[in-house]
Chain A
Amino acid sequence: MMARVAQSLKNIEWIAPWMRLFKGENPKEQLNAIIRGIGVPVLAFVVFLWIWDASASRVETSLGTVPGPSQVWHQAQGLWDEHVAEREKADAFYLRQEERNAKKLAKNPDAETKWRDYHGRPTYIDQIFTSLYTVFAGFVLAVAIAVPIGILCGLSPTMYTAINPLIQIFKPVSPLAWLPIVTMVVSAVYVSDDPLFEKSFVNSAITVTLCCMWPTLVNTIVGVSGLDKDLINVSQVLRLPWFTKVRKVVLPFAVPMIFTGMRLSLGVGWMVLIAAEMLAQNPGLGKFVWDEFQNGSSNSLGRIMVAVLTIGFIGFILDRIMLSVQKAVSWDKSSVVR
């Protein structure tokens, strides 16, 4: 098990030299590799910051000059401090509540105690997690729809000819076009007195699903329909029942392609989510950007830029995670996955 984990870690190019370094394998070469792997990108990033800094101060907007890296950093710290302060408030609130209840119980063991949740303003960090949560919900739903349909289409040419035009038509539709429809449908269909999820959350998640299922669907179809004729023959000779065939032969064969599709899907989903949240007013990074824009204080531009960088960074991390998963599940170790 450990060996397997180590093996899949080794597949991640920027970890490999570190691992070798710790094992004491030719330290000089590993250091070189690390410098090439990390030093060059860091240098490029520094150059980028410098250009940003130099050009930002020249643009004057109605909200002041465009903030440079240091102002943005300052805003990021401000957002973090707000988050910490809010958490302390929440902790204090719960502490007080507990004390109150304890006192009540001490006086009268049968007393009814009340428990209230703290309803503070969602902080920036909360909003990041809401966004992640939403995008995952949409993504999981997309995969759950796309993979089975993709397998059916990949196995049956008739299904494929039936579904392909629909894919081609719906694939390029922007989230902004889906959202009004989704909103109307959700408010018509999703009616309950005690909803498990917020409507705004459902709207954004479904919009994400509609926009991000296509890469997974297309890749699943391509992966499944590429199934080796020989492997089909094997499953025929064995008289594998349809479901066993799918589980033991088709699915494993297509898994690398499916994961390639899922990685693309998650990327699209994350991109689309921000737009969806802006419009659906789902508490997340998109809403944060929108609120700041409406707010129009002197801090707004800086805060929006923090959001932009956060979105980019999280997108990057998500992609790396998916890449590692993709490499780990790929049985064709000779293929290059990047």
Chain B
Amino acid sequence: MSAEHLIIDHISIEFDSPKGKFKALDNVNLKIRRGEFVSLIGHSGCGKSTVLNIVAGLLQSTEGGVVLEGKEVNEPGPERAVVFQNHSLLPWLTAYENVELAVKQVFKGRKSRKEMREWIEHNLRLVHMEHAMYKKPSEISGGMKQRVGIARALAMEPTVLLMDEPFGALDALTRSHLQDSLMEIQRDLKNTVIMITHDVDEAVLLSDRIVMMTNGPAATIGEVLDVDLPRPRYRLELADDVHYNHLRAEVLRFLHERHSKTDVQSNSEVKQAAKTEEKKGAGADRKAA
């Protein structure tokens, strides 16, 4: 297969709003290699989720398109599994049944009942959820729900794994556990991953490349940063690593100097989102200090 595994080809999107057309994305262009881990980072409301949803096929771009392995993407499908920000498990099904729903759909006719069962259990084991397989989402913690969401996505054997702030709602400790699990899984499975994040450390720790987006409206890719840290990466060792800290600083500089949220204020639609960002920005500053 060619190096061009996933191509996001000059996509733009306009939403209909009461005040006319609203151009959220303008000419976003990105080529992703097989097995690459790419993070999308940018201020709230700039259009990261929109990019991801277009790749997932949940939204249609107005101009341009997405090509996966030579085929244009125009509807959602399990080969582009999504881990949603708020887990999106079916609340009336157990963890096992949630994964089962996906496995039955994707491997219908290809795996026997026994194989399916093993595959479901295998994926739950990957995210260390084997002990709570038969619990409902309401009976497990937020981090565990997110794990099940990841297991469900992995169980679809996706070509591309799309994650929209998968750990955004979790506390720092749970988050770092899940990041470690994700790195392990990624090392073994070598999926292509696009992950949205607000967390600079997370982006640098996990990614091969960090795609930084400019502020909306008409957001586009501002800068792409290669993260050439050797793997496996260990967060404690990296904490004192000069290169790591340099990369971190690059991202922070992009977010806070060149594209600080003051540019955004003109767009009333983003104001609401900017409020949340203030909090997150403050958090990032604290870490930077």
Contact = CB atoms under 8 A, between A and B. Distances in A.
B88 A230 contact: yes
Contacts of B81: 237
Given A239-B78, A333-B138, A231 B88 contact: yes
Contacts of A233: 56, 58, 76, 82, 84, 88
A249 B86 CA distance: 17
A88 B82 CA distance: 70
Interface string A33-57: 0000000000000000000000000
16 contacts: A231-B90, A233-B58, A236-B58, A236-B75, A236-B76, A237-B58, A237-B80, A237-B81, A237-B82, A238-B101, A239-B105, A240-B105, A249-B90, A252-B92, A332-B91, A333-B138
B102 interface: yes
Nearest to B56: A237
A331 B80 contact: no
Given A228-B88, A231-B90, A331-B91, A238 B80 contact: no
A239 B75 CA distance: 9
B168 interface: no
Chain A interface category by residue count: 20 to 34
B283 interface: no
Given A236-B76, A237-B77, A230 B92 contact: no
A62 interface: no
Contact of B77 (A231, A239, A255): A239
Interface in A314-338: 331-334
Contacts of A96: none
Contacts of B88: 228, 230-231, 233-234
B106 interface: yes
Given A233-B56, A233-B88, A234-B84, 20 more contacts: A228-B88, A230-B88, A233-B82, A233-B84, A234-B82, A234-B88, A236-B76, A237-B77, A237-B78, A237-B80, A237-B82, A239-B77, A239-B105, A240-B105, A244-B105, A252-B90, A331-B92, A332-B91, A333-B138, A334-B138
A230 B90 contact: no
For the residues of B in contact with A, the DSSP-based class is loop
Interface string B75-112: 11110111010101011110000000110011000000
Contacts, number: 57
Nearest to A333: B138
A4 B229 CA distance: 53
A237 B138 CA distance: 23
A252 B101 CA distance: 14
B102 A238 contact: yes
Given A230-B88, A231-B88, A233-B82, A239 B76 contact: yes
A87 interface: no
A103 interface: no
A333 B135 CA distance: 14
Interface in A65-112: none
A230 B84 contact: yes
A239 B57 CA distance: 11
B138 A238 contact: no
Nearest to B80: A237
Nearest 7 CB-CB pairings of A with B: A331-B92, A230-B88, A236-B76, A237-B76, A252-B92, A238-B105, A234-B88
Interface in B35-88: 56-58, 75-78, 80-82, 84, 86, 88
